[in-house]
Amino acid sequence: MAQKKYMLKGLLVLAVIATGLALPLMNTPSNVGNRLIVATTTSTADTGLLDYLKPYFDEKYSADLVWLSLGTGQAIAVAARGDCDLLLVHDREREDEFISSGNGVLRVTVMYNDFVIVGPPDDPANASGTDAIRTMRKIAESGASGGCVFVSRGDGSGTEALEKKLWESSSVCGFLLSGWYLSAGSGMAATLRVANELGAYTISDRGTFYKLKDSINESLSLVVICENDSRLLNPYGVVLINSSLYPNINSDLAQKFLLFVTSPEGQDLIGNYTVGGRQLFFPIYGQTEKIGLPREYETIAYIENLRKGG
């Protein structure tokens, strides 16, 4: 009975959320002649980071930065059609595949934050801790017995890709994700709202979670259940699209954005962006080894040569 109640309520909530998905995904442009279209993950938009960076970039280059707020998989698909000028996403495997296929020129890590597993304050699955695999396994065990619900983004995003890796690592097979597992098919903020309404668990990038928490205060009752596991690291990459394949893209302005976010000014802006006094993103250009990632020697050399006009 408990699971039926969750499912019926979940279907109603998902239907309400779905009506919001018809809204335009691109922020309103103002200067069409020198527009840069960035296909990006929902978290850079939902947190307000791009709204914060836009006036600095626009003024510096007399540009009009606009963006398509999508799941990483959808953003990469848009780029593969040549329907944007630049990618800013957070799924390194798919970023590398995009480049190796010839669609992209380079990927550089510009910032990071981390994911958190969130859930109801009473934590019915007794899943709290700093081990993400244990947390996911406990949620699955509780869900299978009707004790809780998990809401997935279900939109092909980098967040969903991480979720699938965690299920796999915790030995939770797909056929076990039934009854208690709901797919929102929406962005991060919308998925958090669904999970909040259902008193369910979900995975979120920390930035979007705290941005929403700051926006709706007590209305968001979800709390962080699991954090500070290295498997929850969330690096963001800027990917230059191959202008030889897509000659109509604004490759010149895309390069300028790349130089902007990797410059001391851009990195400082990223690090100084806060919501409710909390830093949401951490600049990491040229220092990826500090978070356990390989140093990007060739990419850094390419960017610094580009900066010199080479």
What confidence tens digit (pLDDT) does each residue in 47-73 have?
Answer: 999 999 999 999 999 999 999 999 889
- Contact yes or no for 10/149 (Cβ under 8 A): yes
| Distance, CA of 304 to CA of 23 (rounded, Å) | 39
- Cβ-Cβ contacts under 8 Å for 87 (sequence gap 6 or more): 38, 39, 40, 75, 76, 79, 95, 98, 104, 237, 238, 239, 241
pLDDT digits (tens, 9 = 90+) for 162-188: 999 999 999 887 656 778 999 999 999
Domain 2-20+115-231: what homologous superfamily?
Periplasmic binding protein-like II (3.40.190.10)
* Statement: residue 46 has pLDDT above 70: yes
* Statement: residue 1 has pLDDT above 90: no
Q: Determine the Cα angle at 78 with ends 306 and 61, to 5°.
A: 35
Three-state DSSP state, 70:
strand
| Distance, CA of 113 to CA of 136 (rounded, Å) | 20
Identify the CA nearest to 48 among candidates 278, 211, 200: 211
- Would you give the distance in Å from CA 72 to the centre of its chain? 7
* Statement: residue 249 has pLDDT above 50: yes
One fold for 2-20+115-231 and 32-113+235-307: yes
List the domain boundaries for the chain: 2-20+115-231, 32-113+235-307
Domain 32-113+235-307: what homologous superfamily?
Periplasmic binding protein-like II (3.40.190.10)
- Contact yes or no for 31/211 (Cβ under 8 A): no
C-alpha neighbours within 13 Å on the C-beta side of residue 171: 3
Q: Which amino acid is at 216?
A: I
Share of the chain above pLDDT 70, in %: 88
200 vs 218, which has greater pLDDT? 200
Least confident span in 4-18, 125-139, 289-303:
4-18
Q: Please give the model's pTM, rounded to 2 decimal places.
A: 0.86
What is the DSSP secondary structure assignment for residue 147, as one 8-state letter? S
